[in-house]
Amino acid sequence: MEKLQGSDFDTILSEPSYTLLKQLLNNLENKESFFEIEKKFLLKVLPDNLDTFEHSSIEQFYLFTWDPEVRIRKEDDSYILTMKKGKWECRVEKEHDISLEIFQSLLPLVKSSISKKRYKIPLDNNLIAELNLYPDWKIVIEVEFPNQESADTFIAPEWFWEEVTTNSAYYNANLATPLKDKKLQNITLQCKPNLLQNNKIEKLFLEEGYQRLVNEIRKLSEHQDTVVVCVAGGSASGKTSQVAKRAYEEFQDNAMIISMDNYYQGISYMESYKQQTGQELNFDQPEVLDIALLQKHLQLLKQGISVDVPNYNFKKWEREGYTSVLPKKIIIIEGLFSLVDTIAHEADIKTYVDVSFHWMLLRRLMRDIHRGSRSLQQNMEYILKTAEPMKQKYIDPSIRNSDFIIINDYNPHKESSNANVSEQQIKFEWTISFDSLRKLGIEKLWSTKQTDYYFNSPTSQWECGEFVKIRQEGDSLIFGYKWPQLTNWKKYKLEFEISDEIKNNLFQHYGEIMKVISKEREVFSFNGIVFSIDKITDTHGKKRNFIEFRFSDKMSNEEISQIYEKFWLDEKESINDSYFNII
């Protein structure tokens, strides 16, 4: 079950006129949630005899259009309140039937609305194409899938055109026509409290935001000798790889890119600063950069004068000489602090690349796996104690200087392989005595007690098969994260030991514990296969026993089936879900 953050909506719905909606949202907390896996496509050719297919008229009215999205819908004679969370092809959804009277009572709260005619067209493999025809004759096709594997292997029929699943311009909420309710609009923006101070700045998802950046560069290039572009963002936001470098490659010979990292003054400067002031600097605050030099270089480049950009050696943490840089028509500056006032003042186009804390943490941890300079625990400690507080103190205030914000949250279905560590496991609900196991020649390795604390994040998609947890086992604390399933029983994972201080810090960031699961675990070995028998008490007080296998990636399906046979297990009764969803 997904739990709606009550405190957020207490703020949003504090006025008496919103009491009804607040009650309905609270009731929705107790409804079972499910996740829809859906892809969107544009149309190439209309199917023949369209009106012979099942169809209905739908009107949707949006009360909140950010995450979570809240809407009311009229479809023929039925009325439904819906809350959706997440983006891209996998979204969490909760629905609740409402009466006509309640529907009418909520209409004054509507921010935008849309109407469409929906045709349901059968496809292969028992799938349905929902062809949505809008009043302006715009057509968007939606296909919902039973699981991620079905979505990944889907081959669109010839009458489909381009896929637009990740293009927010084709979200129903963005196709909807805004209403002139300023009061409601202001309240809705409170769904994103970390950007309240920037609620007048337009926010766009990655591809849409990148395309706007490119278009604005082209437009200004037509009548300006030099176009200066600032791309800022926190750590692991994608400001460099997903925005700045792509823009540079777009314009190639007419463009240059300057990384603010080259203007670090080095570890010797930081040590000297500490001796003189008694204050210790870190690499996530602007004082360690020579911003004045960067500003001077920008001014010279705009005048057509070449400059000597410092070379920074990340291994030695020091400057090593300079590189002469010739002026170009398009100058792209990227870095944590490229929107500070002095640099933003020199720029023509300014954008900020945003990522939520949850996804920043995971993306940076996986990035640093390959760098190897610190352990995962050391990386997380630095992120929580230094990088994130510095971002809030120095980077977030500079967002006010941006022309638009590009949202580049992590996509677990596409980026999870960066972890390079996968796990194949399968469970069966099963009871067997230890004597029976001993007769099979099975060796008991150890027994333990584990308590798993599962966290909720406003931006996570755990109902899509991903979750964050902290496991307490004796005196050890283990951070765990698992991505959506790759196959029926294979997932990428991130797992490492953490300190008590890190645990407390994570509790503060994530806030809400969704579920606590305690289990007694006995671990065994058989022919090189490690498996466990877990004794768990479910939420109804019933004691349940499970056997859980962990297999090597190299094992074939035939070898795995042979193991099931030795344990008298029927593969059809296997469970490929986590204990979070089972218990």
| pLDDT 10s digits, 133-168 | 887 667 899 999 988 888 889 999 989 988 888 777
pLDDT at residue number 510? 81
Bigger pLDDT: 85 vs 490: 85
DSSP 375-422: -HHHHHHHIIIIIHHHIIIIIGGGGGG-SEEEE----HHHHGGGG--E
CA distance 301 to 339: 18
Residue 333 has pLDDT above 80, yes or no: yes
Strand partners, 85: 92
CA distance 185 to 180: 9
| pLDDT 10s digits, 241-290 | 999 999 999 999 999 999 999 999 999 999 999 999 999 999 999 999 99
Q: Which two tokens stand for residue 539?
A: 């939420």
Phi, psi of 372, rounded to the nearest 5 degrees: 70, 5
Superfamily of domain 6-179: Hypothetical Protein Pfu-838710-001 (2.40.320.10)
pLDDT at residue number 33? 61
Residue 172 CA from chain centroid, whole number: 20
pLDDT at residue number 384? 94
Q: Does residue 290 contact residue 265 with C-beta atoms inside 8 Å?
A: yes
Name the pTM for this structure: 0.66
Boundaries of every domain in the chain: 6-179, 200-263+292-410, 415-582
Within this chain, domains 200-263+292-410 and 415-582 share the same CATH topology: no
Q: Which residues of 219-257 are buried (b: 16+ CB within 10 A; e: fewer)?
A: ebbeeeebbbbbbbbbbbbbbbebbbbebbeebeeebbb
- CATH architecture of the domain covering 200-263+292-410: 3-Layer(aba) Sandwich (3.40)
CA distance 184 to 179: 10
By C-alpha distance, which of 405, 329, 430, 8 is closest to 189? 8
DSSP 416-438: GGGG--EEEEEEEE----HHHHH
On average, the pLDDT of the chain sits at 82
CA distance 410 to 432: 42
Q: 396-410, 474-488, 554-568: which has the highest mean pLDDT?
A: 396-410
| DSSP run (H or E) holding 444 | strand 443-455
Kindly state the percentage of the chain with pLDDT values over 90: 40
At 209, the pLDDT band (50, 70, 90 cuts) reads: very high
Q: 41-45, 52-56, 343-347: which has the highest mean pLDDT?
A: 343-347
Residue 486 has pLDDT above 60, yes or no: no
| DSSP run (H or E) holding 360 | helix 357-371
CATH of 415-582, one of 3.40.50.720, 1.10.260.30, 2.40.320.10, 2.40.50.100: 2.40.320.10
pLDDT mean over 483-490: 56
> How many secondary structure helices (H) and strands (E) does the chain include?
19, 26
pLDDT at residue number 432? 74
Strand partners, 491: 423
Q: Which two tokens stand for residue 13?
A: 């719905």
At 565, the pLDDT band (50, 70, 90 cuts) reads: confident
pLDDT at residue number 473? 94
Q: Does residue 40 contact residue 142 with C-beta atoms inside 8 Å?
A: yes
| pLDDT 10s digits, 524-564 | 888 778 889 999 987 777 889 999 988 776 777 888 888 88
- Non-local (6+) Cβ contacts of 392 within 8 A are none
Cβ atoms within 10 Å of 429's Cβ, excluding its own: 12
Q: Which two tokens stand for residue 128?
A: 């349905």
CA distance 579 to 396: 38
pLDDT mean over 487-507: 81
Strand partners, 91: 36
Q: Are β-strands 160-163 and 255-259 bridged in parallel, bridged antiparallel, or unpaired? A: unpaired
Residue 447 has pLDDT above 90, yes or no: yes
Residues composing the chain: 583
| DSSP run (H or E) holding 287 | none
At 31, the pLDDT band (50, 70, 90 cuts) reads: low
Residue 16 has pLDDT above 50, yes or no: no
Q: Are β-strands 330-335 and 227-233 bridged in parallel, bridged antiparallel, or unpaired? A: parallel
pLDDT at residue number 51? 79
Of 66-75, 158-167, 291-300, give the lowest mean pLDDT range: 66-75
Q: In the β-sheet with 330-335, what is the strand arrangement from edge to edge?
A: 202-205, 404-407, 349-354, 227-233, 330-335, 255-259
| DSSP run (H or E) holding 324 | strand 318-325
Phi, psi of 526, rounded to the nearest 5 degrees: -150, 115
| pLDDT 10s digits, 93-129 | 788 888 888 888 888 888 888 888 899 999 999 999 9
